[in-house]
Chains A and B, each alone.
Chain A
Amino acid sequence: MNSSSTSAVLEETSVQTATDTLLVGLDLGTNTSALLASSHKSNDISIRELIPSIVGYAKDGILDGVLPGNATVLFGNEALKRKLYVNLVRPLKGGTIADLDSARHFARHLRSRLSISPNTEIRAVIGVPAKADPSAREALRQAVTGVFDKVLFIPEPFLAALGLRDESRLGDAAYADPVRNSLFIDIGGGSTDLCLMRGYYPQAEDQISTTFAGDAIDQMVHNAILQTYPDCQISLHKVCDIKERHSFVMSPETQVVVDLVVAGRTRQFDVTEQLGAGCDALLKHLLDLSRTLIARADPDAVPELLQNIVLTGGGSLVRGLGVALQTLLIEDGYENPKVSVIGPNYKEQVARGALKAARQAKERQWQTILR
């Protein structure tokens, strides 16, 4: 038993009564959580869900029928759709639990998405940020107590690498193993993590993390818009929405003109410059951090490493980010760099790795959580 743990976690000793086992791969993201599930008897993924990591608590005095089933708590898109009638709470910040109560509610909601028979044991591998300290792990453990039967917390960089790797093609000469010698850049909501992948589990010196990520860009763009248009009313949620639809680096394809409210009336505002400045700041950060990490790589490995710079995470979807970073690296004197972007599937990557880990974990490694 982990002596530091205050929740009821036991090593594997319990008597098996379950008739089936459901394996779950879970990425609890600051903005979006990915949930994959599969029976241990099958390789097919039976449940695949992406859910915004947000909980909405009904505001006091809401009239009957306004919220579906007069619910007192809504989750994910349901909560976002009815944000006028609920108090929105984000359970996570910077990848770790920031609000334990809402995290517990959210975890129970995730559990409810798994359609299972009563005698099914649920084993979940859950990604944790590489820098998660014992208190962050403990908070996560408390959040999922009573939700899953057995859990394993595994650092996200490893799960991301595992998720991206296509083991079935490792014997294929044409397949470039993405974790053999590459630079991973994961731009999330709360943090941007850069990691050198050299075929083995990344060590401390292989990683750099910064809090300049999606949320910081939202705040920067929000401030810039309010500075230029002090009369307009705009929330951070709205800025995030604009960013997800129109973000760009270098130069925009078209001007970004959005509807915003001024004293109750909708007017159009050009926010191209403000949005561009936020995204360009991200690009500059990425370039600086990439330089630092590339300098730590074995000089003999750098040519191959430069061929495998991988952008992932929500921030990687900023239009033109991959090409722009590649261009700046070339201008900076790096020889023939190649930056690739994983694309919208990035959200499942950690959860996919978690599911792979769940299949391979030994019985002794699972931690049983008392319900």
Chain B
Amino acid sequence: MQSPALNTEPATVEADRLWRLIAGHLREACILRRQGRHHAATAILERELPPLIREWSAQCALPTEEAKARLNQLFSDEQARVESHWIIARFLTDKTTPVASVDRLVAFPAALPGQQCAFGQATSHSTSAAMFFPSIAPRRIPIADVVDMIDASQEIARAAALQQ
């Protein structure tokens, strides 16, 4: 007979994996909503997240109330993170922002040392908003969503031009 510890360990690993997936989806939905892509955000919130949350709830072995509280906290955290990055990005792309202020903001640790920024380039001293704001990085766009794909491809091209 296996010990309880051996039985629960794979479930914990799986719960962690699902938690990371949920966080990623939530962040993506917040970004899409902030960009005004409500249709795409709703698709994630209504179609992609519920099965993940159900699966995580089954795997995490937490009491229902605690699981709910953790999910609410995650949602608030991700929303706050996106809002904060959004403001920074707007500030950096605003041509009226004094250069000195931009330089101070560039020192803001958007990515941890060694982490890659939105476009896979190592973070460097630059006034480009692209490296701070993940919304202009490639994101998941369904093949059938031609309009969203064109928007994304234009955003990427604009950001790349800004970086250059």
Confirm or deny: A179 has a beta carbon within 8 angstroms of a beta carbon on chain B: yes
Quick check: B146 and A204 within 8 Å, CB to CB? Answer: no
Confirm or deny: B160 has a beta carbon within 8 angstroms of a beta carbon on chain A: yes
Quick check: B143 and A199 within 8 Å, CB to CB? Answer: yes
B 126-148 binary contact with A (CB < 8 Å = 1; else 0):
00000000000011111110110
B 104-136 binary contact with A (CB < 8 Å = 1; else 0):
000000000000000010000000000000000
Stretch at the interface among B29-37, B66-74, B150-158: B150-158
Confirm or deny: B61 has a beta carbon within 8 angstroms of a beta carbon on chain A: no
Bound CA span A155–B141, Å: 13
Known contacts A133-B160, A153-B157; decide if A197 and B143 are in contact (CB<8 Å): yes
Quick check: A4 and B138 within 8 Å, CB to CB? Answer: no
Shortest Cβ distance from A206 into B: residue: B138
Bound CA span A155–B142, Å: 15
A302 to chain B, nearest CB (A): 17
Confirm or deny: A75 has a beta carbon within 8 angstroms of a beta carbon on chain B: no
Bound CA span A202–B23, Å: 21
How many A-B contacts are there with CB distance less than 8 Å? 65
Bound CA span A295–B164, Å: 32
Bound CA span A167–B143, Å: 11
Instruction: List the A side residues contacting B138 at CB < 8 Å.
Output: 201, 203-204
Tell me what chain B mostly uses at the interface: helix, strand, loop, or mixed. helix
Instruction: List the B side residues contacting A154 at CB < 8 Å.
Output: 149-150, 153
Bound CA span A159–B155, Å: 17
Quick check: B143 and A161 within 8 Å, CB to CB? Answer: yes
B147 to chain A, nearest CB (A): 6
Bound CA span A55–B99, Å: 48
Contact of A162 among B146, B157, B164 (CB under 8 A): B146
Quick check: B140 and A201 within 8 Å, CB to CB? Answer: yes
Stretch at the interface among A36-44, A186-194, A307-315, A357-365: A357-365
A11 to chain B, nearest CB (A): 11
- Most chain B beta carbons < 10 A, residue from A3, A201, A360, A365: A201
Q: Count of B residues near A, CB < 8 Å?
A: 22
Quick check: A4 and B164 within 8 Å, CB to CB? Answer: yes
Quick check: A158 and B143 within 8 Å, CB to CB? Answer: yes
Confirm or deny: B62 has a beta carbon within 8 angstroms of a beta carbon on chain A: no
Quick check: B143 and A200 within 8 Å, CB to CB? Answer: yes
Q: Count of A residues near B, CB < 8 Å?
A: 30
Confirm or deny: B162 has a beta carbon within 8 angstroms of a beta carbon on chain A: yes
Shortest Cβ distance from B149 into A: residue: A201
Confirm or deny: A16 has a beta carbon within 8 angstroms of a beta carbon on chain B: no
Shortest Cβ distance from A152 into B: residue: B150
Bound CA span A68–B154, Å: 42
Instruction: List the B side residues contacting A201 at CB < 8 Å.
Output: 138, 140-143, 149, 152
Shortest Cβ distance from B142 into A: residue: A200
Instruction: List the A side residues contacting B158 at CB < 8 Å.
Output: 2, 4
Contact of B153 among A158, A167, A197 (CB under 8 A): A158
Confirm or deny: A90 has a beta carbon within 8 angstroms of a beta carbon on chain B: no
Shortest Cβ distance from A132 into B: residue: B157
Quick check: A357 and B146 within 8 Å, CB to CB? Answer: yes
A 1-36 binary contact with B (CB < 8 Å = 1; else 0):
011110000000000000000000000000000000
Bound CA span A4–B128, Å: 13
B32 to chain A, nearest CB (A): 13
Instruction: List the A side residues contacting B5 at CB < 8 Å.
Output: none
A304 to chain B, nearest CB (A): 16
Shortest Cβ distance from B95 into A: residue: A3
Quick check: A134 and B147 within 8 Å, CB to CB? Answer: no
A195 to chain B, nearest CB (A): 12
Shortest Cβ distance from A135 into B: residue: B164
Confirm or deny: A285 has a beta carbon within 8 angstroms of a beta carbon on chain B: no
Confirm or deny: A165 has a beta carbon within 8 angstroms of a beta carbon on chain B: yes
Known contacts A165-B143, A179-B143, A200-B140; decide if A158 and B149 are in contact (CB<8 Å): yes
Confirm or deny: A137 has a beta carbon within 8 angstroms of a beta carbon on chain B: yes
Bound CA span A197–B140, Å: 12
**Residues in A lying within 8 Å of B, measured CB to CB:** 2-5, 133-135, 137, 152-155, 158, 161-162, 165, 167, 179, 197, 199-201, 203-204, 356-357, 360-362, 365
Q: Which 6 A-B pairs have the closest CB atoms?
A: A4-B161, A201-B141, A360-B146, A134-B161, A203-B138, A200-B140
